[in-house]
């Protein structure tokens, strides 16, 4: 009997898809070493060597439900720009996006395990490796499900080189249908794509990143001959500027640098008569 654990063992050893492993074990009566030889003889194991090669080209894709209550963002990498622009590859990525949008996967591990045809999404990807002859992988996956009123939004920029997923909440269930709200959400997704914020608020910028910035500023100021007693005060001022450039809510809006994203959201909330809150976002940059 070919057990699931036996199939999994062969998968880990060969980096070959589930269906191919099961077939190899069936053909070799469950003998792992013979199954490895079988896969090598059939040319199937070449995908395992490709898995060590870099893949920084590819496509970022998104899907939203029609009611704006759920959305996904994926990055599927390949090795060459030529393949990423191939119609076959584009359809392949679209098929993965559609499959995962229809699933309840919450993270990358669950996404790879989603059923696809006779195997999984992971198997589907590995089959494409064999077909196209270069390393391909589902590198990133994110799902947002609406937590309150409002909507999930997405934006794909530069033909799939940058992707954004965003959640903006509203106290009223009617607000999401208003044009003003839709325009705001669209503007924020475009802003995120262009400005590449490191976090939503200061709380999301880790202490090690902040301290690294401070160390750079201290070294610069010391090299400039600033008095040691003044350095920390100047550093705090520079960190404030750092946050204004790194934190989404404090960034100057790309369409109107005289206002911040936080002020933009507050103003739009007053316009629609509701309390609006940017809850979360994720930005994928190809290969980042």
pLDDT tens-digit series, residues 224-283: 999 999 999 999 999 999 999 999 999 999 999 999 999 999 999 999 999 999 999 999
Q: 176 with 150: CB under 8 angstroms?
A: yes
Burial (Cβ within 10 Å: 0-12, 13-18, ≥19) of residue 225 = exposed
In this prediction, residue 100 has a pLDDT band, given cuts at 50, 70 and 90, of: very high
In this prediction, residue 20 has a pLDDT band, given cuts at 50, 70 and 90, of: confident
Domain ranges of the chain: 4-50, 54-145, 147-205+247-288, 206-246
User: pLDDT over 70 for what percent of the chain?
Assistant: 95
Which are the contacts of 58, defined by CB distance < 8 A and separation ≥ 6?
Answer: 75, 76, 77, 78, 84, 93, 136, 139, 160, 286, 287
Give, in words, the CATH class of 4-50. Answer: mainly alpha
CATH topology match: 54-145 vs 147-205+247-288: yes
- As a whole number, the mean pLDDT across the chain is 92
* Nearest C-alpha neighbor of 97 from the set 79, 78, 118, 124: 124
* Nearest C-alpha neighbor of 63 from the set 96, 29, 33, 40: 96
| pLDDT at residue number 45 | 64
* Nearest C-alpha neighbor of 68 from the set 161, 182, 183, 227: 182
Give, in words, the CATH class of 206-246. Answer: mainly alpha
In this prediction, residue 220 has a pLDDT band, given cuts at 50, 70 and 90, of: very high
Topology given in CATH for the domain delimited by 147-205+247-288: Tetrahydropterin Synthase; Chain A (3.30.479)
- 208-224 average pLDDT score: 92
């Amino acid at each position: 009997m070919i057990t699931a654990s036996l199939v999994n063992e062969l998968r880990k050893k060969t980096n070959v898809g589930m269906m191919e492993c099961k077939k190899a074990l069936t053909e070799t009566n469950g003998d792992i070493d013979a199954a490895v030889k079988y896969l090598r003889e059939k040319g199937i194991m070449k995908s395992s060597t490709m898995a060590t090669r870099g893949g920084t080209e590819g496509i970022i894709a998104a899907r939203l439900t029609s009611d704006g209550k759920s959305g996904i963002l994926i990055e599927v990498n390949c090795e060459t720009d030529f393949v990423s622009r191939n119609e076959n590859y584009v359809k392949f990525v679209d098929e993965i996006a559609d499959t995962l949008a229809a699933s309840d996967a919450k993270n990358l591990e669950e996404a790879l395990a989603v059923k696809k045809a006779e195997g999984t999404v992971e198997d589907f990807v590995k089959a494409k490796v064999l077909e196209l002859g270069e390393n391909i992988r589902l590198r990133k996956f994110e799902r947002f499900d609406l937590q309150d009123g409002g909507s999930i939004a997405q934006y794909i920029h530069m033909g799939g080189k940058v992707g954004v997923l965003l959640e903006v909440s509203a106290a009223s269930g009617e607000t999401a249908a208003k044009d003003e709200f839709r325009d705001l959400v669209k503007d924020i997704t475009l802003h995120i794509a262009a400005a590449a914020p490191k976090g939503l608020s200061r709380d999301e910028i880790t202490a090690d990143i902040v301290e690294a910035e401070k160390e750079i500023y201290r070294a610069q100021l010391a090299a400039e001959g600033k008095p040691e007693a003044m350095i920390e005060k100047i550093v705090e001022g520079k960190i404030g500027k750092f946050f204004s450039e790194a934190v989404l809510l404090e960034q100057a809006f790309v369409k109107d640098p005289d206002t911040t994203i936080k002020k933009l959201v507050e103003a739009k909330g007053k316009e629609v008569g509701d309390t609006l809150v940017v809850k979360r976002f994720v930005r994928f940059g190809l290969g980042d």
